Amino acid sequence: MNPIEDFYPLLTTPANIVITTHQKPDGDAMGSSLGLFHFLKQFGHQVTFIAPTNWATFLDWMPGRELVIDFEKNKEKSAALIQAAEFLFCLDFNILHRTKNMEQLLEAAPGKRILIDHHEQPQMEVFAYGISNPAKSSTCEMVYDFIMDSGHGDKISIATAECLYTGLMTDTGSFRFPAATASVHVMLAHLKQLGLQHTPIHDHIYDNALENKLRFTGFVLLNRMQVFYELNTALIAVTKNDLLKFDIKTRDTEGLVNLPLSIQGIKMAACVIDRDEERKWSFRSKGKVDVNTFARIYFEGGGHFNAAGGRSSSSLAETVETFKQAIEQQKQILE
C-alpha cells in the first residue's frame, strides 16, 4: 500500500470515483463518506457513495444523504458503478469482508482502492494507496487531515463540515473518550470558525428518538442486564422477541452498550443483539481493558482498544455462555 500522500497529485484530475464504507454505517462511516463526497465533487470528479446496507434513520438529515445508494436495494446499478470506478475510497473499515455482500465486487474491481481508516490490523495488500492510524479519534478526523494535508482546506464547505463533525462527535462520545485529543479540538475549532452550527447536529443524533426506544431501553436495563461485579463487567443480552415487542430498528440499539459503563467499578460492558442471521456483539471498556483483542479472540471481531464489535453464529444462549467463560479466562485484565 502506497502512502496516501502519493494520491494528492491525482486529486485535481477529474475521475470516476466510488466511496464506500462498512455495513450498517454509523455516524463516523456516513460522516466521513459524505464529507469526502462533498469535497471531491468540487474537483469535477464523478462521485458516487454506495453504502453496503441501510443505515440508522437519525442520519437521514445529513447533506447529500438522498444521493447515497443502498447496495442491498440497488445491486445491479451498484455493481456497474463499482466496475466502472477508477478509484474506490474505502472509509472506516480496513478488511473487505466488513462490506458484507459487496466484498467480492470490491475485490474484483479494476479500479484502485484507497484506504482511510482508524481500525487495527488492516488488510493492506488490497489497497493501492492509503493511511491506517488507530491513534486517530475517527475516520472523519482522518478525512479532515486528508483535506488539509493535500493543501485544499479552502474547499471545506459547510456541508463537509457538518458531515465530518458528526463522526467526530459520535466516535468520541461527544468528546469525552480518550480519543478526543488536542488535534480533535483544533479540528473542531476550525470547523466552528468556518460557520459550523453544532447544536442542530446534536439534536438530530441524540434528541430524535421515538417513545418505544426509551421504553425498550428501560425494559432492557431492568430485565436483560447482568452485572458481574467480581469481574467489573456488565452484559446486556437482547432477544429477538424484545426487538419485536418494542418494534426496535437498528438505530434503536445504538449506544446501548455504553450505558453499563456508568456503573461504578465497571471496566467492560458488552451487548449482544439476537439478529435473524447472527448474534451481533458490541464491546466497550475503560482504561487498560483491551476489547479489540478480546473481540478478535472470542467473537470473530475487532476494532479499537476501548471499543470493538463481533459476531457469533451460535444461539443467543450459547454465545452468552461463551462470553461468560471468556471473561473468566480474562479475569486478570478485568479485576
Residue finishing a domain among 206, 232, 256: 206
User: What is the dihedral sign for C-alpha 63, 66, 72, 77?
Assistant: negative
Same domain, 268 and 229: yes
Q: Which amino acid is at 331?
A: K
Residue 255's pLDDT is 87
Kindly report the CATH number assigned to the domain that includes residue 266: 3.10.310.30
Same domain, 199 and 245: no
Q: Are 72 and 52 in contact (CB under 8 A)?
A: yes
Same domain, 149 and 217: no
The residue among 121, 124, 123, 103 whose CA lies nearest residue 302 is: 121
Report the alpha-carbon distance of residue 173 to residue 168 in Å, rounded.
9
Residue 177's pLDDT is 87
- What is the count of structural domains for the chain? 2
pLDDT < 50 stretches in the chain: none
Residue finishing a domain among 142, 173, 206: 206
Please, what is the Cα angle at 208 between 202 and 211, to 5 degrees? Answer: 145
What letter does residue 93 receive in the DSSP assignment? -
Report the alpha-carbon distance of residue 194 to residue 177 in Å, rounded.
25
Q: Taking the model in full, what pTM does it have?
A: 0.89
Same domain, 230 and 202: no
Same domain, 163 and 228: no
Residue 71's pLDDT is 97
Q: Which amino acid is at 289?
A: V
Same domain, 260 and 181: no
Same domain, 178 and 235: no
Residue 251's pLDDT is 74
Report the alpha-carbon distance of residue 113 to residue 167 in Å, rounded.
22
Same domain, 77 and 138: yes
Same domain, 186 and 321: no
Kindly report the CATH number assigned to the domain that includes residue 56: 3.90.1640.10
Report the alpha-carbon distance of residue 87 to residue 84 in Å, rounded.
9
Residue with cell 467480492: 104
- Which set of grid coordinates corresponds to residue 7? 494520491
Residue 56's pLDDT is 87
Report the alpha-carbon distance of residue 330 to residue 335 in Å, rounded.
9
Residue finishing a domain among 188, 206, 224: 206
Same domain, 221 and 164: no
User: What is the dihedral sign for C-alpha 178, 184, 189, 195?
Assistant: negative
Total count of residues recorded for the chain? 335
Residue 327's pLDDT is 96
Q: Which domain holds residue 270?
A: 213-334
Burial profile 77-98: b = 16 or more Cβ within 10 angstroms, e = fewer: ebbebbeebbbbbbbbbbbbeb
Q: What are phi and psi of 93, to 5 degrees?
A: -155, 155
Same domain, 119 and 196: yes
Report the alpha-carbon distance of residue 335 to residue 328 in Å, rounded.
10
Same domain, 324 and 260: yes
